Amino acid sequence: MHPLPRWIPASGVNEAWGGMKTKSKPAAATAAPSAPAAGLKRINLAGIATKSAVAKTAKAYPILPDADGQVATLVEGILEKSEQLEAIEGALEIEKAELIAIAKPFYFAHHAGQMAVASSIEARSGDKTVRVGFSNSYRGTSDDSAIVRAVGEEGARFFKQSFELKIKGDLIPEAAVEELIGELQELFSRHHAGAALSAKAVFKPNKDFHTARHTLFTPEQNLEIDKIVPVGASVKTKLGRGGEE
């Protein structure tokens, strides 16, 4: 079993090198620089609008009638089972995290210096088996200097800044939508980045429909409409002070 390279962090940088054509050597012989000589390329996203936090206010909700106590029985059952389920799920997540923490050192040590890296490792108890998977998916960080310190300048070339830009079409003046989209497509094509643009179009009611539907349509009609455009609905069990969401 190969020793775990000292300068590779637990984030799995060694796995990122798995796609290289030439065989790489365990990085223990390469010392990480004490300070970054050159940081990763940062893309200036200044000026892009960000959402600001909106203070929540107390809300009043209509109460569902309960003439025969059926609603109360269901509420009790839902809350009780939700608490039990949350307790089980919480315990399960803790045990999974503990197993992953045990498996990671073995995963990196076992595959040190190898080009063929298994996607999972098995953990067993007698004839019972679970698999701990390590996918080629990484949580990002905004601290590029920390990456360079950890992996060195050679390793840093495998990292680049990733970002997504979202456009809320509802906020674009209707008369300007097609022209703006056309200019956006032309701009990306000019920079040979047309494939980076993607769109998903759906038909949905405007903001006034949710209230107006109750005066425009009968309950039966609303049920039929709901089969086509379902209204968002959920059962919430976690409420704040005073029953607020």
- Rounded to whole angstroms, the Cα distance separating 222 from 216 reads 9
> Under a CB-based contact definition with an 8 Å cutoff, are residues 126 and 20 in contact?
no
pLDDT at 245 over 60: no
- Rounded to whole angstroms, the Cα distance separating 213 from 218 reads 8
pLDDT band at 210 (very low <50, low <70, confident <90, very high): very high
Rg (CA), the chain: 27
> Under a CB-based contact definition with an 8 Å cutoff, are residues 108 and 10 in contact?
yes
pLDDT of residue 243: 54
Calculated CA dihedral for residues 12, 13, 18, 24, nearest 10 degrees:
-130
pLDDT of residue 33: 46
Outline where DSSP puts E strands in 19-119: none
How many percent of the chain have pLDDT more than 90? 46
pLDDT of residue 45: 66
pLDDT at 156 over 70: yes
103: its two tokens: 């498996």
- Rounded to whole angstroms, the Cα distance separating 49 from 42 reads 18
Q: For the chain, give the mean pLDDT.
A: 82
Amino acid at 219: P
pLDDT of residue 38: 61
Residue 100, CA atoms < 13 Å, CB-side half-sphere: 12
pLDDT at 212 over 60: yes
pLDDT band at 153 (very low <50, low <70, confident <90, very high): confident
pLDDT of residue 49: 65
pLDDT of residue 76: 96
Q: Looking at residues 123-138, what average pLDDT do you find?
A: 94
pLDDT of residue 54: 67
Q: Looking at residues 152-161, what average pLDDT do you find?
A: 88
Spatial CB neighbours of 16, under 8 Å, sequence gap ≥ 6: 136, 138, 158
Each residue of 45-67: pLDDT tens digit?
Answer: 666 666 666 667 778 889 999 99
> Under a CB-based contact definition with an 8 Å cutoff, are residues 147 and 156 in contact?
yes
- Sign of torsion over alpha carbons 29, 35, 41, 42: positive
pLDDT of residue 15: 44
Amino acid at 146: A
Each residue of 161-203: pLDDT tens digit?
Answer: 888 888 888 899 989 989 999 999 999 999 999 899 988 878 8
pLDDT of residue 40: 74
pLDDT of residue 157: 87
pLDDT at 22 over 50: no
